[in-house]
Amino acid sequence: MNKLIIFLLVLAALFFAAITVGYAVLGFPGALLGFILCVGLCVVAVKVIKRRVKKMIFGAFELKGAVLKDARVDIHHVLRTNQPSDWEAENEDDDAPKELKWFEIDATITPASAAGESTPFSCWDPCEIEFVDFQTAPQGLEEYSDNDCVVDRAEIFIDGNFTREYPDKIAGNSRVKFVVGLPAHLKRCRLCYYGHSFGDVTLPG
């Protein structure tokens, strides 16, 4: 924040200096030229600041997602299933795609130990995992784009049963059952957690 304030002060000083010097050398045309140059400089500065802010925001979320970077995914089963009865009613006003194939994906997710040691975020939330096309899976939030894959629910395996009643965050590995809607053309997909793609899921026809 201090660096940003200093940057803005320097920019204001340059703005004032350019107009003052321009006026002293060429009069009003010089002041106008100095003003135009400063506006151009401001446009460039705004773009730089936006890029820096975007990078900071993405960096924070990618740091959160790093716990599942290169995580191992052991598939127990991938089964075709029916569209959840309440899904269409809950999403009728959304931009969510309507033509999807629905699957039940049962998998154990194990964070890579190296990734877990490199980030202050050591826990993860199954409900925040998404599914992405295997061919276009992102490696970072800047590569991520909205896709037509929908996760209806995620349940974890506790004491011999799948349940939605679990702690907000999971530490270590966990067996998770997802109910997902995926585009009909999709044959393979990956899991994605805040820009970090992992795993390989082959979908039945």
pLDDT of residue 116: 44
pLDDT band at residue 136 using 50, 70 and 90 as cut-offs: confident
pLDDT of residue 108: 95
pLDDT band at residue 64 using 50, 70 and 90 as cut-offs: confident
Range scoring the smallest mean pLDDT among 80-84, 117-121, 164-168: 117-121
pTM of the prediction? 0.65
How far apart CA 12 and CA 45 sit, in angstroms, is 11
Using alpha carbons, list the distances in angstroms from residue 141 to 90, 94, 103: 27, 23, 26
pLDDT of residue 76: 95
Q: What is the mean pLDDT of the chain?
A: 77
pLDDT at 95 over 50: yes
Domain boundaries, the chain: 2-65, 69-202
